[in-house]
Structure formats: structure tokens, C-alpha cells
């Protein structure tokens, strides 16, 4: 089994998506995208980070996370695909050329006249751009979730959710740690409702 396929299966398990392990990588990723909102319109700010004026395709985020796992790089759940790729690029290529950083800035609409002449300055500007985009994403999340934004709920894992819901901990060589039947955990309210609708958990306190 290829490392890319193993990573795709791990991502499916993390997302609580039931798959046939004989599926190819493309079919597994399609199933993940569908489960994370492509069909039912679920919106999870912990899983989806906005890219520019619109949210990015879930495939971009999935592939970025796959790339990070293959490189052995730890990432945060709220990072955008661009930030994940930037961190991976930095880890794989510690010495970053100014042209490489300027190219990333250009991709975000920064003109050549606005770009510093040194690597450190470009990297600081890139970090500021990513923070600004993150704030814009948070604003859109607030608008999308309304009164549910920032609220959490206690969930209890049901039989159908046994081993299918990631704890958010990934151990190299072991994969994603998951909750067992009967385990209780705290989740964003909208995510808890989505899991409850799928029959994986029951909300015990909202």
C-alpha cells in the first residue's frame, strides 16, 4: 500500500467516513469531501478555513494535510491550506529564497512594489497576510454559524461512532487516535449536531 493511500485512509478515519479500503485515493478523497459538506452543506470552521473571498475546495485542505503528514510535519486544525503548505515548504527547505517567498506573496495579490527586498521582511509580510485572511475567515464563520458560533456541547460516543471520531491526536506510525463507544468529549455545537445527525454521538449537554 502506498504512503499516499495510507494517509488518505487515515484522513477518512479521522473524518469518521466509512470507506472500502479497496478504493483508490481519488475515491477515498471524494468520500471525505462529501461527508465534510459537499452534499449536505455542513460547515465546520475547525475543518474548513476560508481562502480569499470564498472558502477553498475541501480537496485543497485535504491534500495539504496529506502532504504535511507525509512530511512528518505537525499542523494545527485551523490552519489554511496555504499556511500548511508554507510550513511544510519551510520544513523541507530550511533555506528559503526570496523569490520563493515573493512568489507566495504575489499569489495573494501583493504587488512587487509592496514586497520587501529581504527574505525576513517578505516572510513577516506573508505572515501578516495569512493572519489577515484568518480574521476574514473567522468573520465569515461567525456570519455562517450565527448564534451557534463559539458554543460547544458535550457528546457521548455511540456504537456507530466507536473508533470513527478522531481525538485530534496523530501518532506517527500509529495513525489517528479515536474515541471509543461511551467516551465523552467536548465539540463545537454545530459539529456535535452534525455527528448526532449521522448517528455517531448523542449530545448530553448543549
Per-residue pLDDT of 59-98, as tens digits, reads: 677 788 888 888 888 888 778 888 888 888 877 776 567 8
Query: Residue 135 corresponds to which cell in the numbers above?
Result: 480574521
The residue among 202, 124, 117 whose CA lies nearest residue 157 is 202
Question: If we measure between CA atoms, which residue out of 32, 31, 24, 33 comes closest to residue 6?
Answer: 24
pLDDT at 162: 92
Which residues, in sequence order, are CB contacts of 6 under 8 Å at separation 6+? none
What pTM was estimated for this model as a whole?
A: 0.39
- Evaluate whether 163 touches 17 at the Cβ level (below 8 Å): no
Model confidence at 1, pLDDT cuts 50, 70, 90, reads low
Average pLDDT across the chain, whole number: 77
49 pLDDT higher than 90: no
Residue 158 reports pLDDT greater than 90? yes
Q: Summarize the confidence of residues 106-128 as an average pLDDT.
A: 88
Amino acid at each position: 500500500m502506498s504512503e499516499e493511500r495510507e494517509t488518505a485512509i487515515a484522513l477518512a478515519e479521522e473524518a469518521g467516513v466509512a470507506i472500502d479500503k479497496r478504493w483508490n485515493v481519488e475515491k477515498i478523497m471524494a468520500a471525505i469531501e462529501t461527508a465534510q459538506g459537499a452534499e449536505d452543506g455542513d460547515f465546520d470552521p475547525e475543518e474548513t478555513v476560508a481562502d480569499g473571498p470564498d472558502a477553498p475546495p475541501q480537496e485543497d485542505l485535504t491534500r495539504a494535510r496529506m502532504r504535511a503528514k507525509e512530511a512528518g510535519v505537525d499542523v494545527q486544525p485551523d490552519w489554511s491550506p496555504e499556511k500548511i503548505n508554507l510550513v511544510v515548504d519551510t520544513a523541507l527547505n530550511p533555506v528559503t529564497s526570496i523569490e520563493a517567498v515573493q512568489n507566495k506573496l504575489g499569489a495573494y495579490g501583493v504587488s512587487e512594489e509592496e514586497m520587501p527586498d529581504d527574505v525576513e521582511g517578505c516572510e513577516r509580510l506573508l505572515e501578516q497576510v495569512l493572519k489577515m485572511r484568518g480574521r476574514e475567515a473567522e468573520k465569515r464563520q461567525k456570519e455562517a454559524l450565527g448564534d451557534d458560533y463559539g458554543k460547544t456541547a458535550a457528546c457521548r460516543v455511540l456504537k456507530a461512532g466507536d473508533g470513527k471520531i478522531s481525538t485530534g491526536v496523530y501518532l506517527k506510525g500509529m495513525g489517528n487516535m479515536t474515541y471509543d463507544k461511551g467516551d465523552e468529549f467536548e465539540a463545537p455545537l454545530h459539529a456535535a449536531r452534525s455527528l448526532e445527525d449521522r448517528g455517531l454521538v448523542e449530545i448530553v449537554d448543549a
